[in-house]
Chain A
Amino acid sequence: MTVNEEAVMWVEKYRPKTLDEVVDLNDIVQSLKSFIRNPKTMPHLLLAGIPGTGKTTVALCIAHELFGPSWKTFTLELNASDERGIDTVRDRVKDFSRYSRAAFGNVPFALIILDESDQMTGAAQTALRRIMETSSRTSRFILICNQSGKIIEPIQSRCAVFRFSKLDRKAMIDHLCYIAGKEKLKLSPEAAERIVDYAEGDLRHAINSLQAAAAYKDGVVDEKTVSLVLGEASPVQVQLMIKKALYGDFMEARKIMYDLMGSLGFSGADIVRQMNRELYKISTLTPEQKADLTNIIGEYDYRLTQGANSDIQLSALLAQFAKIGKAAGETT
């Protein structure tokens, strides 16, 4: 495997450059390789699946294989979740497709990779659909998303859709061991299993965990270190905030909330998302209680988008937690 020696973050350093190197995606890779052999037949692509399963990697591999080392000149990479307005997307896409008309070798088009495209609004997608039509002679789109259902039908019908499922445990463990070997790390099998269990099929998370764990002890990653890293890398304060709210200390919970927002600059939406994730790790709650609380989080996630002050919405959410926590405490 070619290693990107310049990159420091391992997710980049060991990101495959060619489709052959891609981990555990044989069927998809085989279909895509036929497009590379004859680029003229390549349609627009829609890559859908959970995070960390190789969608972006595959898209970048395609760019590499089509254009070689100068791929960046012929590829526009946009993240729909960052480029908020459709205007940005539209302007840049339009400009790019116009500018890149000069074809490369036998590749008669430029490549536009639109990551997290399910974050685009319906209106933005409709505009994109037009652009896909008008620029189809000069550019190809690779749309990447978590949920293909959020992509409007007309776009889906214009794309060849590839679904990425959770990566195979064994393939992930093998890949971690491969990286450990390259980095001259002693990775214990239990540690590798622990990382992979925690990552839930997200290879990016697994590699980041491994790299952080490697920073703890020189040359060795054992299960103990991994547990430590995974514990510390999780948002401890968010967990604490949930617990304080549930066990009746609303004021303290709210203070943590203000710290998260004020001194750290987390947005209300960031905190709500993390709360939802951390909720499931709290062992003292029953599945029913968790489901109820998730429901409430969902309601306030929506209210955040409607409201004017995220601290007020989060306070209200914590107050709901305090109420449920108290009620639960009284019945048990």
Chain B
Amino acid sequence: MQTDKTVQEDLRRWLLGVLPQQESNALEERLITDTALYEELLIVEDELIDEYLAGGLTADEREAFDSYFMNSPERQEQFRIANALRFYIDESKEDVSNRQLANATPVKLADHRRAWFRMPVAAVSLAAAAVLVVALVWLAPSLRSPSSGNSLSVFLTPGGQTREGGSVQTITVPPRTEFLQLHLRLARNDFQTYRATLVNSEGNVVQTTENLRPLSEDRGPTIQLSVRAKQTPPGEYQLKLDGFAGGKFESADSYRFVITR
């Protein structure tokens, strides 16, 4: 009987296209009928990608990975997602260590990400926009996992049409909330992509998210983005939305809100 390690090794060789034909056929027959083995295959596939990204493959394995394993759009997508996860984990750790430093400047994270993605960067104008901001805030059960209770959906609309009488919306963030899911309603949808810059009352950039694309929601086009609740302590914030066109950013909308706990 094959040990777990042998099975894993066979799957790995099959994925890299180096398992002999006869063994491949036997393995495929098992894969199509054996649920546990199929799950093992999916795990080994992810582990192989992670190892590649960590530089842990041998030269031969790397060659087979490049020339055989990646020969599928599905795996290329899997690779991108694995890379994004790796980057996200690094960023989370960096975030934690930054918070441990007394005078940490969160802007570094945004800069780091911006540099990584090599997106065009325009100067960020922080001129205060005299826009009445409407925010309709509620916990949206459909957007949260039933048991988590840790995402707060916030709908922000530029302009003066407010249910709350036109004042800047106060967002009360419940304890244990980890993410604010911001839904920014667009007054006009003139751009294919947008950049959102969240600025605190001291003018420091808390987060910059680029290459945001409008999504279609019931009440019109909306930009969605996630902000970690821990990045927004109580205070006043401005979220500036710039549209990208003709190789440069142009001011699109602006949203203001106050966070309380």
- The reply to whether chain A is a binding partner of chain B is no
